[in-house]
Structure 1
Amino acid sequence: MIEPLFLAHGSPMLAIQENAYSEFLRSLGQSVKPQAIVIFTAHWESQVLTISASDEVYETIYDFYGFPEEMYRIKYPARGSSKLAGRLQAKLEAAGIPVRLDTSRGLDHGSWVLLQKMYPEADVPVVQVSVHPFLSPQEQIEIGNVLRGLDAEDILVIGSGVTVHNLRAVKWGQSEPEPWALQFDEWLLEQMQKPGYGELLNYEHAAPHARMAVPRPEHFVPLLIALGSGSPDRAPKEIFRAYEFGTLSYLCMAF
């Protein structure tokens, strides 16, 4: 059985960096051997949940600007799985969640930067799914709930985002995290351990420094989806945490 994960994709520079986080991802990939991957990426937004449904090799999308040239030469030639995409579509529609299929979109950096560290051979089928950032937290959890049970089939569900993601607040060159960023993540960890996730679903109003940490929700909602997809019999657990530029969180969770 493979636990659903929330993984921070952080800076695109992770693609060419060797550090504690890249080593963690490499080790994680060596220890977790899925039959397929379903990844919800913060860098694909749509008002209707959209699922990549192709058996072809994905195009590698470079959805970032001004980075070293070597990053634009990286290819991550994973294949999709139309069969798994169809299964997800059926599950979500049965739960009353509108869904579309997409047969042409490539993997954005919210997906391939993580996956090329975890599975560098690109030998695991990948189904990429969009997020609708403006659904309520409860609705995001319910999307995850629909995916419960995939873990028993060794299908790895990943929410790819960042808990503290405010690019206007980054402190370039600062290695120590800002206190407010720590306080926000600590609050999240505390709430996820409570029955019904405590005040997590009201995080916008209840969490300390919520507006600073989450000025826009697209990077936060993959956490809620991954959390919802986990077994209620397992306690959420922190599996990695670090900070870059003072505020950018690399908190990762297993559910």
Structure 2
Amino acid sequence: MISPIFIGHGSPLMAIDDNECARFLTEYGKTVKPKAIVLFTAHWESETTAISAIEGAYDTIYDFGGFPGELYEVRYPAPGSVPLAERVARMLGEKGIASRLDARRGLDHGSWVVLSRMFPDADIPVVQASVNPYLPPKEQYRIGEALRGLGREDILVIGSGATVHNFRTMNPSAKEPDAWAVAFDDWLVEHLGKRDLDALFRYEELAPNARVAVPRPEHFVPLYIAFGSGDPASEVKEIHRSYEMGALSYLSLAF
């Protein structure tokens, strides 16, 4: 049994730099041995859930610019899994959720940065999936619900994004996390722990500083998908929290 997780993936530099979250991911990856991984990434958006059905190894996508050359040399040639992709599509379909298979797209940095730290050998089959940031939280949660039970087969479901992700608020010289960002994460952890779905689905109106923390929800919605995919009888655990530049949250949770 492997619990689904949400990872605050932060900057692409985490693939080559040593920070608190990178060290956490390295150690966490030693504690789980998934047979396969299903990862919803904030960096792939589509109206209909797209599911990577890749034969052979993935290409590595560098969907960013202006970083050190070393970062563009990182490769993460994880194998795909067409049978698992087809199964994910069937599970969604059984709950009335439309999806489509994609046989071309490589792993974006929302996927390979996290996975390269957790499972550096790139030998675990990966199915990457997109998000639709315009669906309300209740529908994001429902996508996750459709995939419940994968963890019992040692298939790790990951939501990769960030709870607080606002470039305008980031301060490279900050030494401490911004209080408003911490308050938003505290609210999330509290209500996730209580499984207060009504409040969580209404986070925009109820959570402190929600509109500053989540100016656009593409990084936020993987949280609801991972949360929905977990066993509702399980304890929600904060497995890591750190911040960079004052307001970039690396809050990570297990469901």
Query: Aligning the two structures, in what range does the TM-score lie when normalised by the shorter sequence?
Result: over 0.9
| Structure 2 counterpart of 1:106 | 106
Q: CA–CA distance in 2 between the matches of 1:82 and 1:10?
A: 29
Q: CA–CA distance in 2 between the matches of 1:195 and 1:216?
A: 24
| Structure 1 counterpart of 2:241 | 241
Q: TM-score, normalised by structure 2?
A: 0.98
Q: In 2, are the aligned partners of 1:191 and 1:198 still within 8 Å (CA)?
A: no
Aligned pairs for 1:71-82 within 5 A:
71-82=71-82
Q: In 2, are the aligned partners of 1:52 and 1:129 still within 8 Å (CA)?
A: yes
The one-letter code matched in structure 2 to 1:223 is: L
| Structure 2 counterpart of 1:42 | 42
The one-letter code matched in structure 2 to 1:169 is: T
In the alignment, structure 1 segments of 5+ residues that lack a partner are: none
| Structure 2 counterpart of 1:166 | 166
| Structure 1 counterpart of 2:127 | 127
Q: CA–CA distance in 1 between the matches of 2:196 and 2:210?
A: 20
**CA-atom RMSD, angstroms?**
0.8
The one-letter code matched in structure 1 to 2:28 is: L
Aligned pairs for 1:189-208 within 5 A:
189-208=189-208
The one-letter code matched in structure 2 to 1:111 is: S
The one-letter code matched in structure 2 to 1:227 is: F
The one-letter code matched in structure 1 to 2:250 is: Y
Percent of residue pairs bearing the same amino acid type: 58
Q: CA–CA distance in 2 between the matches of 1:175 and 1:58?
A: 38
Q: CA–CA distance in 2 between the matches of 1:194 and 1:20?
A: 27
In the alignment, structure 2 segments of 5+ residues that lack a partner are: none
Q: In 2, are the aligned partners of 1:159 and 1:222 still within 8 Å (CA)?
A: yes
Deviations 1:30-72 (A, max 9, x none): 1110000000000000000000001221110000100000000
Aligned residues: 255
Q: Which runs of 4+ in 1 moved over 6 A?
A: none
| Structure 1 counterpart of 2:32 | 32
Q: CA–CA distance in 1 between the matches of 2:175 and 2:197?
A: 31
Q: CA–CA distance in 2 between the matches of 1:7 and 1:59?
A: 22
Deviations 1:9-43 (A, max 9, x none): 10111011112221111111111100000000000
The one-letter code matched in structure 1 to 2:221 is: V
Q: CA–CA distance in 2 between the matches of 1:195 and 1:84?
A: 29
Q: CA–CA distance in 1 between the matches of 2:53 and 2:206?
A: 38
Q: In 2, are the aligned partners of 1:55 and 1:79 still within 8 Å (CA)?
A: yes
Q: CA–CA distance in 1 between the matches of 2:9 and 2:153?
A: 25
| Structure 2 counterpart of 1:4 | 4
How far apart are residue 94 of structure 1 and its match?
A: 1.2
Deviations 1:110-135 (A, max 9, x none): 00000001111000000000000010
Aligned pairs for 1:88-103 within 5 A:
88-103=88-103
